[in-house]
Structures are given as C-alpha cells and as structure tokens.
Structure 1
Amino acid sequence: MVFGGILGGVALGLLFVSQDHWRRGLLTAGGVLLVAALLRLCLPTRQVGMLAVRGRVFDTVTLVVLGTAVIVLTSTVPYSGG
C-alpha cells in the first residue's frame, strides 16, 4: 500500500514533466522521495513493502540523498521565464 502511494506520487511528477512543467514535476518527485524516506524510517518493514531493500538506515539515507539531490539540482537550474 505504501509503495503504491510512492509510485503514484512519482508517476504524478512524471506526468507534470510530460506536460512541459518539468520543474514542478521534478520537485514533486524529489518531495515524494523524501516522504518515502520518512515512511521507511517510521513504519515497520512489514508495512513498507518494496521500499525495504536493505536495512532501514541504508534505505532511509539513500532516499534522502536521492530526494535532496533531485530538489537541489532542479532548483539550481535558472528559470528562463519563457
């Protein structure tokens, strides 16, 4: 159930990207990865489903690094306004 919600959130971000709202889509995907990290940290392994790949700490750190990287890299691209 949790994994499906995370997958749906990333799919929503990719839908924004496909409609030429790439900044909004990538910020959405990065935010969803951070939410996934929080859920992986707080919920028992049995409830997170496929978010549990390795240990709890490894999975959480990996998701935080990826989510933060997507958000930071998206935010550093200058806005052309066009």
Structure 2
Amino acid sequence: MLVQLPYLLVMLGVLAAALLVMFDRWRRGSFVFGAALLVGAVLRAFIPSSQAGLLQVRGKSFDVTVMATVGGVMLWLAASIDSLGTD
C-alpha cells in the first residue's frame, strides 16, 4: 500500500480538479490539475523506481518529461485564458 502512496496523492489532486470543474470553476480546476501533474513529475523524479508504484509507466525520464510538460501547459492555459467573468 505504501508503494501506491505517491500515485494516490496525485490522483487526489486530479479528483479535486475534477470536482472544481464540475462546479464550474474550470480555471481553478485546470490549475489544480496542472499542479497535481507537476507534483507527480517531481515525485517520479526523486522516488526510486521500486517505490514509484503506478506513477511508473515507462522509463523515468519519459514519465517525468511527459508529466512536467503536460502539467506546465495546463498551468499556462489556466493562467493565460481570460476567465470571461468566472473563476
């Protein structure tokens, strides 16, 4: 169970993002989703592969690069798109 703790932490962030989006807080949800992916990238980078659990999909460099890139793009989108009067 402890091996899956990093994955569960990231999924908790994704769940929080989904809830925010469901309640019409799409910018905040996008920000939380991007932050969760960046946390996953940092965890994958510094936790040994034997402890990474489901965060380990491919090689370490691939996993970190993809999660950091998608997380960064999500944060950029959340920050750069006009909210049109909503949060």
For normalisation by structure 2, the TM-score amounts to 0.88
Structure 1 residue aligned with 2:8: 4
* Deviation (angstroms), 1:80: 1.6
Selected match of 2:66 from 56, 62, 65: 62
Over the aligned positions, Cα root-mean-square deviation in angstroms equals 1.0
Q: What is the DSSP-based 3-state SS (H/G/I as helix, E as strand, rest coil) of the residue aligned with 1:41? A: helix
For normalisation by structure 1, the TM-score amounts to 0.93
5+ long unaligned stretches in structure 1: none
1:61 and 1:54 map into 2 onto residues whose CA distance is 11
Output one character per residue of 1:48-76: Cα deviation in whole Å (capped at 9) or x when no partner.
11111111111100101000111112222
5+ long unaligned stretches in structure 2: none
Selected match of 1:42 from 22, 41, 46: 46
Structure 2 residue aligned with 1:71: 75
**Runs of 4+ that moved beyond 2 A:** none
Q: Percent identity of the aligned residues?
A: 34
Letter matched to residue 59 of structure 1: D
Alignment partner of 1:28 is 2:32? yes
1:73 and 1:23 map into 2 onto residues whose CA distance is 9
* Deviation (angstroms), 1:7: 0.7
Q: What is the DSSP-based 3-state SS (H/G/I as helix, E as strand, rest coil) of the residue aligned with 2:58? A: coil
* Deviation (angstroms), 1:5: 1.2
* Deviation (angstroms), 1:19: 0.6
Number of residue-to-residue matches in the alignment: 82
